[in-house]
Structure 1
């Protein structure tokens, strides 16, 4: 499609025609071919964008914005000289659309903008050279802004993009045309001036993109990678509340974040999004933290509840989490993960407990100790989360990480083999239950996720080297009673009433009856209760 559209474009335009060329019949054909090619590309390769009107509006809105900015050099340099033609190619902001769409929608959308934005720019300028320079500039911009960690790195990406644009323009023979036509200074000074103009154009483009990103994020409710990094700040009010009101849940969320981030990197998903969503996935437990196992103290409140009621309390944390997310205006992706991270899975512990109680009542009925009307009804549906099931790769990864981290807490003397078996059983159970059917994860992805989980858990649950106990410190203690019965003038006998204590006891300075014969930080022997060495 790209080659066909470029061919139509190269046949259509003489160099002198710029915007006016669109009025001819061939201009309309070229425009129709380009637009049809773009629609087919979206329909076949970017289906999720095709199915959402807001995303289509965003894509074509960004492209339209780029075309409007293209018009500035086209209208200013309208002459037919070689200098005017060179300026129309050198000063077009071909990086605008690719930078915007890469940050907002991802790499494939940035590539779409680079290809079709360059074709439409060539249609306006009337030059195949503009197409090729624009493609190089746009693709370089897409690659350089793909993994930005700070907004200030946009300028560095602009410098790299500007260098690529200068190289492409020089290779196409566009750079230096102003020198040849005598419109700028002769020699390398003139070529350097044109190169600086190209660099300045890309820098201004990056500044414009930095200003437009927050606007597009707010209008289209999209979270860019830069915004995900800002949301990863643990000083968010909800996370600060969790540290105080549900510390067990907070620690669990941090561990889930480590698991999910590493797994996302292994399969090429958005690792920063997985980490941030893991931080917030259990915020609903802030409503009733005392009913969650990681926050329960000596008394378990579920002991006084029926299994069905306990299941309702536990499952309610999903709805409570969504309510808190809306109240604190968290973005839609986080809210979706909160809603989906349990899918429609079964609260197996309380379901099993309800079945056991049902069997106990049935046994009592059989023995004549209870009536058949006392047999409770146990429906599996009542013990399942309302869903929906995970619908993105990131949501599914967080869901699996949540289950694996929780199960790892129950391992007794964890070994690498136990960890791998546990992970395998959890993933297989989720697959069998259909919880991953809508997540777009492949079997290869699941294999990489299992390996990543195992590696992360092996490092966090590793065995420590058992330190040998310190040798018992010898202490000499004279009891008050012994002092009273001791004859006057009797010499002190060192071995009498001596007490041996462990290293932990020897280190306790609070035992005032003991004299610890080991050096203290000050270098002197410890002397307590007035005893001598």
Structure 2
């Protein structure tokens, strides 16, 4: 009874230390009951494996049947490598405690689990999980050899250890693959793997957007580039920011002709024949329609949040100003009718996409896209969103906003860089400036036929063809003098 109580107390201490870590360094996880439940389920899974392994009446090294790498890989993919490593240390200590304070069992479990963490740290697709098989085996094998040599174990014992290590190495990636899908569905989690899959332009929603609203699709790609760069600079989830930007305007696929980026310059806007109160409803409806469309295609909630939050509660100023300028406009024009319903951004990623979307649209509308104009526009938009209170529910600092503006400028300066001006052909002086690699020259102004004739090199007059008579006359010898 005392032995059981001692083990139970050790488990409480281990779990308590992990909880302190989450409270101090991962408050978002600590205060999220769903995430805590997921971690608890993983620990219960590992605890059941320990119970069945250590209560079995066998002489085999059953500590290798506790699939510690499964927990390590799932926690790395769902959270991050630091949370996964701390949890791996806790599970390894639990393995050693359950096996009678066996340091060797804890050491081997920790070695294999740590390697498993780093093999899936930068995972790009699900099949990479199976790459960890080799590293799990190496982690267990090297640690087992070290412990066996220290204890002076014989070859048959080491071979028995290696046989169960091989079983663990094969089973761990397979079970991880299956459990990851299970956790994503049950807990509605969008891991980085899910986000990378959603970033594929062959996804049905993105294909539909590119076909029905090509202008919106192109703008979303630019916004995604801006958001990803800025998110990296402020320590936010750059993958989430980029993918959220791809889907933030999917509602425009239903009525693309009501948005300027999807209309040809020669076509008049449909809003010219609509009153502003109807126009603003058509424009703002893309938010609600986008959410419905995203739910229809089972987009995760983390992506759906970008659809309303990238507008927040901002004012559709163009149509509001148009409504105030109507001849019969009175005080019944309510500003609230021309504001998006929100909510305002609640994370760094959604706030960055809000700023990136506004900056991209405003920069595109500049008649002269010089660097000075772009800098002024970026500063004005970020200042406006801050003063409106759209960023109040995010934890962006002034330093973050400065870095965001700097990275926006870096991306936009690459998009709207100044090109080399090529002279017109008819007055082309020699240009000694170096030409950029793969630079496409500007179209040459067409020249008139008279100008082409003047530029043509002078031609020599062709000699006249001799006739037979002339030839005979020339060849006839003069008469001899007598």
TM-score calculated relative to the size of structure 1: 0.73
Aligned residue number for residue 261 of structure 1: 228
After the TM superposition, which of the residue ranges 102-111 and 58-67 deviates more from structure 2? 102-111
> Does residue 146 of the first structure (1) align with residue 115 of the second (2)?
no
| Structure 1 residues 22 and 251, CA gap change in structure 2 (3 angstroms) | farther
> Does residue 61 of the first structure (1) align with residue 32 of the second (2)?
no
Measured after TM superposition, the shift of residue 503 of structure 1 is 5.4
C-alpha distance in structure 2 between counterparts of 1:233 and 1:22, whole Å: 57
Measured after TM superposition, the shift of residue 241 of structure 1 is 2.3
Out of 82, 106, 120, the residue aligned to residue 131 of structure 1 is: 106
Measured after TM superposition, the shift of residue 255 of structure 1 is 1.0
The answer on whether the counterparts of 1:133 and 1:168 sit within 8 Å (CA) in structure 2 is yes
Aligned residue number for residue 99 of structure 1: 73
Measured after TM superposition, the shift of residue 223 of structure 1 is 1.7
> Does residue 227 of the first structure (1) align with residue 181 of the second (2)?
no
Aligned residue number for residue 430 of structure 1: 385
C-alpha distance in structure 2 between counterparts of 1:59 and 1:320, whole Å: 35
Mapping 1:11-26, distance limit 5 Å: 24-26=4-6
C-alpha distance in structure 2 between counterparts of 1:436 and 1:39, whole Å: 31
| Structure 1 residues 90 and 337, CA gap change in structure 2 (3 angstroms) | same
The answer on whether the counterparts of 2:50 and 2:63 sit within 8 Å (CA) in structure 1 is no
> Does residue 182 of the first structure (1) align with residue 171 of the second (2)?
no
| Structure 1 residues 238 and 25, CA gap change in structure 2 (3 angstroms) | closer
Count of residues in Structure 1 that have an aligned counterpart in Structure 2: 437
C-alpha distance in structure 1 between counterparts of 2:351 and 2:114, whole Å: 31
Measured after TM superposition, the shift of residue 324 of structure 1 is 0.8
C-alpha distance in structure 2 between counterparts of 1:410 and 1:77, whole Å: 76
Measured after TM superposition, the shift of residue 322 of structure 1 is 0.5
| Structure 1 residues 43 and 245, CA gap change in structure 2 (3 angstroms) | same
C-alpha distance in structure 1 between counterparts of 2:401 and 2:169, whole Å: 41
Aligned residue number for residue 18 of structure 1: none
Aligned residue number for residue 156 of structure 1: 131
C-alpha distance in structure 2 between counterparts of 1:149 and 1:403, whole Å: 30
Mapping 1:306-321, distance limit 5 Å: 306-321=275-290
| Structure 1 residues 503 and 389, CA gap change in structure 2 (3 angstroms) | closer
> Does residue 344 of the first structure (1) align with residue 307 of the second (2)?
no
Measured after TM superposition, the shift of residue 102 of structure 1 is 1.5
Measured after TM superposition, the shift of residue 335 of structure 1 is 1.1
Deviations 1:366-421 (A, max 9, x none): xxxxxxxx624233222211111111222222222111111110122222232222
Deviations 1:479-530 (A, max 9, x none): xxxxxxxxxxxxxxxxxxxxxxx956579xxx9xx99x99xxxxxxxxxxxx
Measured after TM superposition, the shift of residue 456 of structure 1 is 0.7
Out of 290, 293, 301, the residue aligned to residue 324 of structure 1 is: 293
The answer on whether the counterparts of 2:71 and 2:88 sit within 8 Å (CA) in structure 1 is yes
The answer on whether the counterparts of 1:95 and 1:138 sit within 8 Å (CA) in structure 2 is yes
C-alpha distance in structure 2 between counterparts of 1:446 and 1:159, whole Å: 44
Aligned residue number for residue 451 of structure 1: 406
Measured after TM superposition, the shift of residue 427 of structure 1 is 1.4
Mapping 1:74-473, distance limit 5 Å: 74-76=54-56, 79=59, 87-88=61-62, 92-126=66-100, 127-169=102-144, 173-176=146-149, 180-182=152-154, 184=156, 190=158, 194=161, 198=165, 201-297=168-264, 298-357=267-326, 375-471=330-426
Structure 2 gaps, min length 5: 428-442, 457-482
The answer on whether the counterparts of 1:88 and 1:125 sit within 8 Å (CA) in structure 2 is no
Corresponding residue SS for 2:126? coil
Aligned residue number for residue 479 of structure 2: none
Corresponding residue SS for 1:176? helix
Corresponding residue SS for 1:318? helix
Deviations 1:111-168 (A, max 9, x none): 3421322232222222234334434443333233121012232233343344344444
| Structure 1 residues 166 and 437, CA gap change in structure 2 (3 angstroms) | farther
The answer on whether the counterparts of 1:22 and 1:28 sit within 8 Å (CA) in structure 2 is no
Deviations 1:263-316 (A, max 9, x none): 222233222222222111101112221211212342122223333332222111
Structure 1 gaps, min length 5: 1-20, 362-373, 473-501, 519-533
TM-score calculated relative to the size of structure 2: 0.81
| Structure 1 residues 213 and 466, CA gap change in structure 2 (3 angstroms) | same
Measured after TM superposition, the shift of residue 325 of structure 1 is 0.8
